[in-house]
């Protein structure tokens, strides 16, 4: 347990040492909130969808968590290239503990990023219901852990950052855009609806939207159940791939 705590703390310290990284990571969520929120807001309202900022903000919060969580895997490749990972792996602790500590650290950073985007959305005009805020934090944590473990698993199979970024962009952007973060899930074409239904982030976005503004498409219990299962599976997959690392 000490190893998990140390690695968790190390990941958090890495993040807070870079103020530019914290500020820079808010640029994209702010752009989406302002450009889409105010740009498509009148159209969304005329179509009978209500306030688009209210609809959009939970999806952008999930986006902030998603990008921070997945790209924490770059640190695995960085540590591999500069020999830091080898020093960690020779320690008398299991690789599962090392992976779990890194995953929890990366997930904590991603949750903090989500909180920052949440606060930013309040300035834009988002007005959430706070009665289910603790449940929203649970959904945020599951999204963060799932995608941090997935990023770690993929980084364990790669040796260069360029390859990781290409794969992540190929994976992350469709995952985000087909999650219902930017558009309602009702009335989608069958093919798009089927893809959204097998997209884990769809249940995270739906859970955040259901807890913060109400109206979950799948239902909160379904969202929580499916997201919990895929998170456990991602930790198992990440642990297996991390155990196969050769440095």
Looking at residue 20, its pLDDT comes to 61
Mean pLDDT to the nearest integer, 9-26:
71
Looking at residue 247, its pLDDT comes to 60
CA–CA distance, 82 with 87 (Å, rounded to integer): 10
Looking at residue 116, its pLDDT comes to 92
Q: What is the dihedral of CA 217, 238, 101, 159, to 10 degrees?
A: -120
Residue range 26-37, pLDDT digits in tens: 888 888 999 888
The total of structural domains in the chain comes to 1
Q: What is the DSSP string of the chain?
A: -HHHHHHHHHHHHHHHH-HHHHHHTTHHHHHIIIIIHHHSHHHHHHTT---HHHHHHHHHHHHHHHHHHHGGGHHHHHHHHHTHHHHHHTSSS-HHHHHHHHHHHHHHHHHHHHHHHHHHHHHHT-----TTHHHHHHHHHHHHHHHHHHHHHHHHT-S-HHHHHHHHHHHHHHHHHTTTSSS-STT--HHHHHHHHT-HHHHHHHHHHHHHTS--SS-HHHHHHHHHHHHHHHHHHHHHHHHT---
180-183 contact pairs (CB < 8 A, 24+): 180/59, 180/205, 180/206, 180/217, 181/56, 181/58, 181/59, 181/60, 181/62, 181/63, 181/205, 182/36, 182/56, 182/59
Q: Between vectors from CA 195 to CA 169 and to CA 147, what angle results, nearest 5°?
A: 45
Does the pLDDT of residue 18 top 70, yes or no?
A: no
* Residue 127 belongs to domain spanning: 2-243
Name the residue with higher pLDDT: 50 or 145.
145
Looking at residue 57, its pLDDT comes to 95
The pTM of the full predicted model, rounded to 2 decimals, is 0.92
Residue range 72-94, pLDDT digits in tens: 877 787 777 766 777 777 767 78
Residue range 222-247, pLDDT digits in tens: 999 999 999 999 999 988 888 887 76
Q: Could you tell me how far CA 180 lies from the centroid of its own chain? A: 14
Cβ distance 122 to 210 under 8 Å? no
Looking at residue 207, its pLDDT comes to 96
Find the distance separating the first CA and the last CA of the chain, reported in whole Å: 24
């Amino acid at each position: 347990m000490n190893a998990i705590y140390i690695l968790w703390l190390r990941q958090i310290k890495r993040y807070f040492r870079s103020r530019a990284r914290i500020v820079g990571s808010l640029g994209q969520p702010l752009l989406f909130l302002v450009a889409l929120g105010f740009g498509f807001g009148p159209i969304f309202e005329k179509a009978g969808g209500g306030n688009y900022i209210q609809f959009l903000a939970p999806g952008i919060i999930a986006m902030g968590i998603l990008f921070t969580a997945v790209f924490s895997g770059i640190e695995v490749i960085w540590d591999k290239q500069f020999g830091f990972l080898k020093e960690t792996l020779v320690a008398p602790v299991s690789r599962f503990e090392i992976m779990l500590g890194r995953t929890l650290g990366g997930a904590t950073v991603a949750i903090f990023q989500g909180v920052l985007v949440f606060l930013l959305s309040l300035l834009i005009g988002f007005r959430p219901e706070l009665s289910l805020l603790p449940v929203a934090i649970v959904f945020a944590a599951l999204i963060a852990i799932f995608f941090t473990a997935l990023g770690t698993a993929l980084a364990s199979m790669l040796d260069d950052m360029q390859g990781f970024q290409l794969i992540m962009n190929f994976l992350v952007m469709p995952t985000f855009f087909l999650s219902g973060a930017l558009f309602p899930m009702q009335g989608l074409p069958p093919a798009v609806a089927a893809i959204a239904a097998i997209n884990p982030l769809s249940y995270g976005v739906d859970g955040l939207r259901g807890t913060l503004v109400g109206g979950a498409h799948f239902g909160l219990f379904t969202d929580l159940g499916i997201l919990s299962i895929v998170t456990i599976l991602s930790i198992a997959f990440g642990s297996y791939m991390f155990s196969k690392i050769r440095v």
